[in-house]
Chains A and B, each alone.
Chain A
Amino acid sequence: EIVLTQSPGTLSLSPGERATLSCRASQSLSDNYVAWYQQKPGQSPRLLIFGASSRAAGTPHRFSGSGSGPDFSLTISRLEPEDFAVYYCQQYAKSLTFGGGTKVEI
């Protein structure tokens, strides 16, 4: 099973700041098969990024995904108040697994 490790566990930032979230896989992921989701309390997850860097419909341009091999990241260029949430990465290169999540808090 491919294990995804997200870091940091919690990111404490202010609106307007830049956030960089990391997702490291236990082995290299073919074809960059990584997705990122946002989840707010009491809500269903929302797809932000697939294929490591492709924005899903409705994803604001301040969200960008990058990476290859075992190392991937999600960057929020300037945090808006509605961006404070938990973010999960998911790999679908070999079966499916999720990272443990990064909480972005004020």
Chain B
Amino acid sequence: QVRLVQSGAEVKRPGASVKVSCKTSGYTFTNYGFIWFRQAPGQGLEWLGWISGYSGNTDYTQKLQDRLTVTTDTSTSTGYMELRSLTSDDTAVYYCARMRISNLRVWPFGDYWGQGSLVTVSS
């Protein structure tokens, strides 16, 4: 079955960087992409960015595009999200989700989700 397993919780100082991983199984990695979201404590969902597992194309929310990088490692069927120059506003649960690709276009919604990774930014 389709599974996305994320890395564990992290505590970071302001100004540091965090890299969250998302290891997949149960499907052909290059036929799909990753889409990344976050949810601040008690808040709603926010889209961060996506990457096509087929082409490597990416798209980012304008708000974070200077600090955010999403990548994939096809050899391990794993996706990564790195966020730099962290502030307390980045404290949230970060989610990866599988993103569909069909007819060579991406469909940016998440059909299977990881369990979430809590990132806490605190001095």
Contacts and interface: CB of A to CB of B under 8 A. Distances in A.
Interface of A: 35, 37, 39, 44-47, 50, 56-57, 88, 90, 92, 95-101
Nearest to B112: A47
Interface residues of B, number: 18
Given A44-B114, A44-B115, A45-B95, A98 B44 contact: yes
Contact of A35 (B46, B61, B109): B109
Contacts, number: 49
B47 interface: yes
Contact of A96 (B44, B108, B111): B108
B107 A88 contact: no
Given A44-B114, A44-B115, A44-B116, A88 B45 contact: yes
A97 B47 contact: yes
